[in-house]
Chains A and B, each alone.
Chain A
Amino acid sequence: MNEIIWDLIKDKTIDELKKGIREDGRSLDQYRPIKIEYGITKNADGSASVKLGNTFVLAGVKFGLGEPYPDSPNEGAISVGTELLAMASPSFDVGPPDENAIELARVVDRGIRESKAIDFNSLCIREGELVWIIYLDLYVLNDDGNLFDASALAALSALKNSKFPKMENDKIVLKESTNIPLNLKRLPILNTFTKVEDLLLVDASLKEEKASDGRFSVCVTEDGFMTAFQKGGIGSFKKDEIDRCIDLAFKNAELLRKLL
């Protein structure tokens, strides 16, 4: 659908939301149907696709070998990349990642990294010399809103699906897996709230995002920690709104975690 239409019907969208009505009949604090598929590509060491309504994101993991950072000689690393594919929207273009893609990648990265879900020490092969580096790449195939949560969920699913490749003489043996899974100690879940006037929406569709003033994302773990915040878009949140988001995030994250 032409995006000009959404700008046009912005007022109507807001009116309906104020009455608590969403296009697909769900409540303001409800996610769209979520479908997760694991192991979608064989060449990846771990992969998953997530459909959040019509929003569609793929994630793939590749293990690499490298030197550790000098300040953490006994830790491996993770690198998250995002591609907002041109096929995902009439408004996306081919080319290197733009600021939107970079923000998305960094928020997903922070949520996972800071949660210590991955035991980076266990990625160390020889202190100061050789460590595993996890390359996690996200591909957005269709943008119908809330790329943040869909991407974070896809990222986590792909990690959960990952198995270490085989290594010989400090080199990866291509096309051979060890069947040793990457253990995740926590499952950090990203929850994004979209603000429309004074309403807070969970899992906004693109149409709703077009009517919004800003978004707030919070990543939470099952043992009560928050591991990332990100406020984006023009607009502001009051403290109590942030608090409401956080409460709801813990509640919704529990439901989402069950899908993994």
Chain B
Amino acid sequence: MNKRPDGRNPEDLRPIKIEVGVIQRADGSAYIEWGQNKIYAAVYGPKECLPKHIGNPYRAVVTYNYRMATFSVPERKNPKPGRREIEISKVSGEALERAIFTEKFPNTEIEIDVEVIDSNAGTRVAALTAAAVALADAGIPMRDLISAVGIGKANGQLVVDLNKEEEDAEDAVDIPFAIMPNTEEIVLLQMDGLLTKEEWKILCEMGIKAAKQVYEIQKQALKSKYFVEEL
């Protein structure tokens, strides 16, 4: 086992800090710092579906907008959302929808907006982690939170929570991964790179363990809005 470029052990997460209720006008909101990643998440709804035809008579429609600020990456990003942001928005929204009791709010929309203002690999899992907290803060009925983490491979080693340097490694494999922590159901899973079945088996275990650590931080953040002294 080798130390990683930033001195972490393979199973170590970068420092994570979550604050709840940071966007005053939103129904629920959260801010997350995850390593160098900094992300705001806000929730509006359930609200009337506009335009009406996007509504579903049996459940709420979940809209997730993942966006990156122009200055959040080394080379200035075009302010127009790209294909990457649209894809991430789709899979992340679907992940959250699994946890929400959407059937309680037919014909309505639940809108989740996340904005990445600084980034260093793993923004989509950090955003999803913050969004789940924002949803709970909005009082949206849910089966569970969603806890997310990146897992993968870098420099010949299986690791959790890759940073940018690791993501850029020759043999890098990056797997955005999210679960409902109480049932361990996987709700987000993507991958690109070369990975063996054995490696995945190990990584999945590492991912669940890491996601549960993320969950504890989410839980503390939500509860500390009401009982600071418990911290």
Contact = CB atoms under 8 A, between A and B. Distances in A.
Q: A and B from one assembly?
A: yes
B77 to A, nearest CB: 9
Contact of B42 (A61, A83, A87, A137): A87
A78 B180 CA distance: 46
Interface in B26-81: 26, 29, 36, 38, 40-42, 44, 47, 65, 67, 69-76, 79-80
A142 B117 contact: no
A148 interface: no
Interface of B: 23-26, 29, 36, 38, 40-42, 44, 47, 65, 67, 69-76, 79-80, 111, 113-115, 117-120
Contacts of A86: 42, 44, 65, 111, 113
Interface in A182-219: none
A143 interface: yes
A94 B117 contact: no
Interface string A59-96: 01110100000000000000001010111111000101
Given A43-B119, A143-B25, A58 B44 contact: no
A220 to B, nearest CB: 27
B121 to A, nearest CB: 12
Contacts of B70: 60, 62, 81, 135, 137
B28 to A, nearest CB: 11
A93 to B, nearest CB: 9
B81 to A, nearest CB: 8
A164 interface: no
Given A41-B72, A43-B73, A60-B71, A54 B115 contact: no
Nearest to B117: A41
A137 B71 contact: yes
Given A42-B118, A139-B69, A90 B74 contact: no
A44 interface: yes
Contacts of B42: 86-88
Nearest to A139: B69
B74 A175 contact: yes
Contact of A44 (B44, B71, B120): B71
Contacts of A180: none
18 contacts: A41-B117, A43-B71, A43-B73, A56-B24, A58-B69, A61-B71, A62-B71, A87-B26, A87-B29, A87-B40, A90-B25, A135-B76, A137-B69, A139-B69, A141-B23, A143-B25, A174-B74, A175-B74
A119 interface: no
**Top 9 closest A-B pairs, CB basis?**
A60-B71, A41-B118, A87-B42, A44-B71, A87-B113, A62-B76, A174-B74, A137-B70, A54-B24
A43 B74 contact: yes
Interface of A: 1, 40-45, 47, 54, 56, 58, 60-62, 64, 81, 83, 85-90, 94, 96, 135, 137, 139, 141-144, 172, 174-175
Contacts of A62: 70-71, 76
Contact of A43 (B23, B40, B47, B118): B118
A139 B113 contact: no
Contacts of B76: 62, 64, 135
A96 B71 contact: no
Contacts of B25: 1, 54, 88-90, 142-144
Given A64-B76, A137-B71, A139-B69, A42 B113 contact: no
Given A41-B118, A141-B23, A60 B72 contact: yes
A141 B113 CA distance: 10
A94 B71 CA distance: 19
A83 B69 CA distance: 9
A94 B38 contact: no
B71 A87 contact: no
A242 to B, nearest CB: 31
Nearest to B42: A87
A62 B47 CA distance: 37
Contact of A47 (B36, B71, B79, B119): B71
